[in-house]
A and B are shown apart, each in its own frame.
Chain A
Amino acid sequence: MTSEKDIEQDPGAGEAVPEGTSEGASKAPEPGSGSDAGDATSELTEAKTDADAPDTGAETAEAAAPDEPEAALPDTEDETPQSADREGQDAPADDEASDEGDDESDSEGDEAGPEEEVERTRVTALYGLHQELGARFTAFAGYEMPLQFKAGILTEHKHTRAAASLFDVSHMGQAFIRLRDGGDHEEVAQALERLVPGDLVGLAPGRVRYTLLLNEQGGIVDDLLVTRPQGEENEGLLFLVVNASRKEVDFDMIDESLEDGIDLIPALDRSLLALQGPKAEAVLASLVPEVEAMRFLSATTARIGTMDCIISRTGYTGEDGFEISVRHPDAEPLARLLLGFDDVMPAGLGARDSLRLEAGLCLYGEDMDESTSPIEADLAWTIGRRRKESADFPGSKRILKELAEGPARVRVGLMSQGRVPARAGAKIQSSEGAEIGVVTSGCFGPTAERPVAMGFVQPSFAAPGTELNVEVRGRLHPVTVTELPFVPHQYKRTVSKASTDAA
């Protein structure tokens, strides 16, 4: 049998988070959260000086001493403390040299001289831990990431919906946008609004918005989360989390668009963990009681021990959960701490993909690309009302036209009636045998207990309940257009009065 095939198909951690299931909303530390104040300022100062320095070139030694939480931050050019030089087949060339202080990662090819072009695969700060946990790895977006752990994808998936799973999503791109000389939120929000259709000016402090970077043709460049931090000292600051596979493209685009006086600062010194599932709140609340008061799409900073965390109530699984941004040296201690809870199991990208697909969430690069408009992607809701009226976002002409007249194709959910999964690329036929669409992602849904897929169809075939066929290995298999999500979302949209009045 072909044993390599399944390893090549990466689920990818690309995120697209409709209804704000967000991926890693983070924000700058805010003062008042213990001793974060100093860190916030120094972090941003450090980050600022690196604003012009792209993340190529020299590496420093490992990130700063972990037992000095308020020490000056490491040079943020250092991508990860454990970048390994590995000859990876799927990895794009990476300009960063190896990390001097690294002795934990599996580094091959250290003999490669500076002139040699060695394809390097990056790893996150949790690579060593992943190995320890018996992960099976896969290449994704230039990173060597766990596809699954010992339990396997089915178990990891089901465990997420029953209890809590911990995902490493550090490969995603985190960044700040900041007004160099200070200023107000409106100014920085308006700057970014030039690239997105969402209402950012109206974003409240401590809140997260899911939105889309658009190109001039009205196509989606990426989907991302934008957070407005709380606190006066963070006025004029935004925090972004973008897809791993798009971070270079995104940051270039944003950087070019920002005028003088506004900087994009990649947060290269940060890792990102996602804790997802019905038990996530209980687990995290035992460490940070205030998370109980957070509702979906909010963000805060908190301290766990000596670790400064940026916590958002967001995710990519459809379950309630949190995404936690920490500096690289804290990633492993935090991961171990969370994994120490009985309810928490590690989960890889395989389960992440089946979870998000059941939740009806898009994966950039599969369910949408630069040719896809928000209307085609069924993401019209991301266009803010004010924005619609001013038509002041890229590609507004096409987008508003599609909104009025309908797009040429539209994303729908497809549920298989049988057991044969329909996968990306499979053709969709009407019951009359006309080819009317294509599958963009599909897998077996462990919770749905049947194959689930998403794809584009001509709008006249998009009504839920429409019976269609997908072509798999030369045969037709029946599918039904199904409303998304396939599995209901469990977001915590309201908090009980007893919990709080904040958030």
Chain B
Amino acid sequence: MTETKFTKQHEWVRLEGEEAVVGITAHAAEQLGDVVFVELPELGKAVAQFKEAAVVESVKAASEVYAPLSGEISAVNEALVEEPAKVNESPEDAGWFLKIKPTNLDELAGLMDGAAYEAYLKELDQ
């Protein structure tokens, strides 16, 4: 399945083979403003669903990025270290943060699909 799923905390996740690619949504990136620093986890680190996996810093403040799925960190986007602005430029593609080897794919069921996320955003606007 390559469908992108979304969390209430504005992360997106997409399965690519055995790994789940994770980033923050365009909405989140826009809210954050200019990203100046990204703190990525160590490879092999265990993460739990909805628990902190990474940190993204804007000029003014730090925000947490939560793991959409439980598992083990299998890759991180080194490009963000030198070019944190990639997160703003391409949040749902080149600005990906990390990859997880998921331990429980059932967790995907609890996440929103694209349409549900859009509806969720509308709700937040009110």
A residues adjacent to B (C-beta < 8 A)? 1-9, 11, 136, 148, 152-155, 157, 350, 353-354, 419-421, 423, 443-444, 446, 451, 473
CB of B63 within 8 Å of the partner chain: yes
Whether the pair A148, B33 counts as a contact (CB closer than 8 A) is: yes
Taking CB atoms, residues of chain A closer than 8 Å to B59 are 153-154, 157, 350, 354, 443-444, 446
Smallest CB-CB A-B distances: 9 pairs: A6-B61, A444-B36, A154-B34, A3-B31, A153-B59, A9-B61, A2-B63, A1-B65, A419-B37
CB of B64 within 8 Å of the partner chain: yes
Q: Dominant SS at the A interface?
A: mixed
Taking CB atoms, residues of chain A closer than 8 Å to B76 are none
CB of B48 within 8 Å of the partner chain: no
Q: Given that A6-B33, A350-B33 are known contacts, is A153 also in contact with B60, CB under 8 Å in the complex?
A: yes
CB of B73 within 8 Å of the partner chain: no
A136 to B33, CA, bound (A): 10
Q: Given that A1-B66, A421-B62, A444-B57 are known contacts, is A153 also in contact with B10, CB under 8 Å in the complex?
A: no
Q: List 28 A-B contacts (CB under 8 A).
A: A1-B32, A1-B63, A2-B9, A3-B10, A3-B28, A3-B32, A6-B31, A6-B32, A6-B60, A6-B61, A6-B62, A7-B31, A9-B60, A153-B60, A154-B36, A155-B34, A350-B59, A353-B60, A419-B37, A419-B81, A421-B36, A421-B62, A443-B59, A444-B37, A446-B59, A473-B39, A473-B55, A473-B62
Question: Number of contacting residues on B, CB 8 A?
Answer: 27
Give per-residue flags for B36-61: 1 if the beta carbon is below 8 A from chain A beta carbons, else 0: 11010000000000000001111111
Taking CB atoms, residues of chain B closer than 8 Å to A1 are 9-11, 24, 28, 32, 56, 63-66
Nearest B residue to A3 by beta-carbon distance? B31
Nearest B residue to A473 by beta-carbon distance? B55
Taking CB atoms, residues of chain A closer than 8 Å to B62 are 5-6, 421, 423, 473
A473 to B62, CA, bound (A): 10
Nearest B residue to A472 by beta-carbon distance? B62
- Nearest chain B CB to A317's CB is how many angstroms away? 15
Nearest A residue to B37 by beta-carbon distance? A419
- Nearest chain A CB to B6's CB is how many angstroms away? 12
A2 to B28, CA, bound (A): 8
Taking CB atoms, residues of chain A closer than 8 Å to B63 are 1-3, 5-6
Most B CB contacts (10 A, CB to CB) among A1, A2, A9, A148 go to A1
- Nearest chain B CB to A193's CB is how many angstroms away? 38
Known: A9-B61, A354-B59. 15 other contacts (CB 8 A): A2-B63, A4-B31, A6-B31, A6-B32, A6-B60, A153-B33, A153-B34, A157-B59, A353-B60, A421-B62, A443-B60, A444-B36, A444-B59, A446-B59, A451-B37
A1 to B63, CA, bound (A): 6
Taking CB atoms, residues of chain A closer than 8 Å to B27 are 3
Taking CB atoms, residues of chain A closer than 8 Å to B11 are 1
Taking CB atoms, residues of chain A closer than 8 Å to B32 are 1, 3, 6
A148 to B81, CA, bound (A): 24
